[in-house]
Amino acid sequence: MNDVDATLAALADPTRRKVIDLLRDGPRPAGELAQAVQMSPPALSRHLRVLRAGGLVQAEAGGEDARLRLYTLRPEPFTALQAWLDQVQAFWAEQLGSFKDHVERGR
Amino acid sequence: MNDVDATLAALADPTRRKVIDLLRDGPRPAGELAQAVQMSPPALSRHLRVLRAGGLVQAEAGGEDARLRLYTLRPEPFTALQAWLDQVQAFWAEQLGSFKDHVERGR
DNA sequence: GCAATAATCAGCGCTATCGTTAACGATTCA
DNA sequence: TGAATCGTTAACGATAGCGCTGATTATTGC
């Protein structure tokens, strides 16, 4: 199981994907994320652990209040996934020469 | 659950991801795929059903032998996933102005 | 017609995952 | 010091997913 598998496994859950979308607006503490996805703090904590294990997010110690753990997005897994996607899409790039065939087959 | 969720759920399984990689070399019948991933035909048939439901592959009736079902990649889910990935990566694009902060935080 | 082949469907255990409540460190503030 | 808050870990029941064997449908070729 390579990196991309771990990334896709982490992104497979709708709750975790929603967390990713929430973090696009900036770092947030765990509790705020739990409230946003309507889930108990322990349940979300497990999801955050999966996201951390996959390297998709990281927790920073919030400077002002040491009880808060601010979660932030990490770029590496996403760029790796995009690289794999580019490889897959090369499949159709190769067929550009016989583009009509592909369109007909796609119907 | 929108399209991207179904796509990611389909790609979460390592076997299904391997099938995608195999199909990058061109269409193949179900039995050949089962042999390539060292799995019983019924087990792989279930995986192919998931991939079909997500629109990632489609089965064509092989012209010469109607018993064979040739599986082929479909582009739509992959482009949709890439669009979502681009949205996520816009998170770091916004931080280009304060690039030093991001690097320091990433350590 | 009849045996053989390709693929799927159906039913069965097994394991992993998910969400909840309860309990546990760590930190803040009166 | 002691109550309250934030986050995590632990343990439990419930659910869903995976792979197997056995049976079923469709097609091929004798």
Residue of chain B whose Cα is closest to the Cα of A8: B12
Mean pLDDT to the nearest integer, B87-107: 68
CB of A60 within 8 Å of any CB in chain B? yes
Residue of chain A whose Cα is closest to the Cα of B57: A106
CB of B6 within 8 Å of any CB in chain A? no
Tokens 């991207």 correspond to what residue? B4
Classify residue B56 by its DSSP letter: S
CB of B42 within 8 Å of any CB in chain A? no
pTM reported for the whole predicted model: 0.86
User: What is the rounded average pLDDT for all residues in chain B?
Assistant: 90
The per-residue pLDDT for A26 is 95
φ, ψ at B72 (rounded to 5°): -135, 150
Distance set, CA B11 to CA A85, B71, B98 (Å): 11, 16, 35
Beta bridge partners of B60: B70
The per-residue pLDDT for B107 is 39
The three-state secondary structure class of A75 is coil
How far, in Å, CA of A107 to CA of B36, rounded?
A: 28
Q: Is the CB of B26 under 7 A from strand C?
A: no
